[in-house]
Amino acid sequence: MSALPSTEALVAGIQSWVLCESPSNSPEGIKQMAALVEAHARAAGLRTEVTSLGDATGPLLYITNRAADDTRPGVLVLGHLDTVHPIGTLQDNPCRIEGDRLYGPGTYDMKAGIYLALSAMATLAQPGSSQLPIDFLLVPDEETGSHASRASIERYAANAKYGLVCEPARPDGGSCVTARKGTGMLRLNVKGRPAHAGMQHEKGRSAIREMAHQVLALEAMTDYDRGVTVSVGTIAGGTVTNTVPAQCRCVVDFRVPDMGAAEDVLRRMRNLCAVGPDVELDIDVELNRPPMVRTDAAVALLERAQSFAREAGFDLAEAPMTGGGSDANFTSAMGVPTLDGLGADGNGAHTLNEYILISTLETRVKFWELLLRQLA
Ligand SMILES: [Zn+2]
């Protein structure tokens, strides 16, 4: 078994990945990123497989230490190759060290997280060196909803005993995630009737007026006590000021803590009715990520992880349920006990101030090594 890398080696490796910009909308950038990760895995003796998901997105990268004939349910590690930062962000947020911080687009979310997990897995390349076979799946489109990779995630999850996700550790001191809200989207189109706003106002049926009613009805579905939020995120309607508008559309984000709440919200959204006469609503609503629920099995996994963290030299706390979704939602919804937020310590996800804390890397990589080797 090879040794875990030093802090200096971890920093250098993470920097080399951050310098490869890989926004979700750049299949080419993600391909290059996948090639870097794959080269690292292969150099360690791990088996890899790159799969195209079409031209619109980057490829899927799979890394394993399974013996070819080993079909046991394993440990599924999930990461994403994409970032939210457009090509060129390195000019505004250069990859640099300031004190204990390593800055750069995608450092915290989640290139350092992947680097830690893969560095630990690299010491377990020999089949049988971990209690369970390890399957590491890296997707190209998590930041935009994992639409192209969801089916692959679920296929691997079907043969997983545990799910471990490399999303960043929470900025509150590095806690991990056992529960995430489900996330959904509603697209609403209102069709009214156009008319000259001066000469035939009474003949018009304003789609914007109708939409105003619907916006209030939608936002009224928010229930903070229950953990349900509904937010009309974008809206557009009308053509010119002197025509009663015949069209208006909006896109709505909603979050739910459990499937019961999800079904309630979906039903209420599908049953939205027009308030005014002679207008039509076209409703398209879906739950994109089901809720990640804190099950007993997830708590048992958390407790194992907490003991490994203590052995590695830190206390792993549990964060309260978060409103943000991740690929952990998919594995959890399939009944695979899943822990998330196991990536790097830092802060500033999705901003130009994104950074990781260098002094935490060595204990974190040790933690990953214990998890991957000893989970059984
Ligand atoms: Zn992420």
Quick one: tokens of 24? 């979700």
CA of 21 to the centre of ligand 1 (A): 15
Q: What is the pLDDT of residue 242?
A: 98
CA of 142 to the centre of ligand 1 (A): 7
CA of 310 to the centre of ligand 1 (A): 25
Span 34-63, average pLDDT? 97
Q: What is the pLDDT of residue 179?
A: 97
CA of 112 to the centre of ligand 1 (A): 11
Q: Is residue 198 exposed (0-12), middle (13-18) or buried (19+ Cβ within 10 Å)?
A: exposed
Q: What is the pLDDT of residue 22?
A: 98
Q: What is the pLDDT of residue 115?
A: 98
Length of the chain equals 376
CA of 110 to the centre of ligand 1 (A): 5
CA of 167 to the centre of ligand 1 (A): 5
- Residue 295 — pLDDT band, cuts 50, 70, 90? very high
CA of 168 to the centre of ligand 1 (A): 7
CA of 84 to the centre of ligand 1 (A): 9
Q: What is the pLDDT of residue 100?
A: 98
For residue 1, is pLDDT > 80? no
Q: What is the pLDDT of residue 2?
A: 72
CA of 17 to the centre of ligand 1 (A): 15
Q: How far is C-alpha 91 from the chain's CA centre?
A: 25
**Residue 92: count of CB within 10 angstroms of its CB:** 10
Containing 151, the helix (H) or strand (E) segment is: helix 150-157
CA of 40 to the centre of ligand 1 (A): 21
Model pLDDT for residues 318-345, shown as the tens digit of each residue: 999 999 999 999 999 999 999 999 999 9
CA of 80 to the centre of ligand 1 (A): 7
Cα–Cα–Cα angle for 249, 252, 256, rounded to 5 degrees: 160
On average, the pLDDT of the chain sits at 97
Strands in the chain per DSSP E: 47-51, 60-64, 74-80, 96-98, 101-103, 134-139, 160-165, 182-191, 195-196, 229-237, 243-244, 247-256, 280-289, 338-339, 346-347, 355-357
CA of 143 to the centre of ligand 1 (A): 6
For residue 219, is pLDDT > 70? yes
- Residue 352 — pLDDT band, cuts 50, 70, 90? very high
Span 131-158, average pLDDT? 97
For residue 50, is pLDDT > 60? yes
**Of residues 157, 61, 55, the one with CA closest to residue 114:** 61
Model pLDDT for residues 159-187, shown as the tens digit of each residue: 999 999 999 999 999 999 999 999 999 99
Span 302-328, average pLDDT? 96
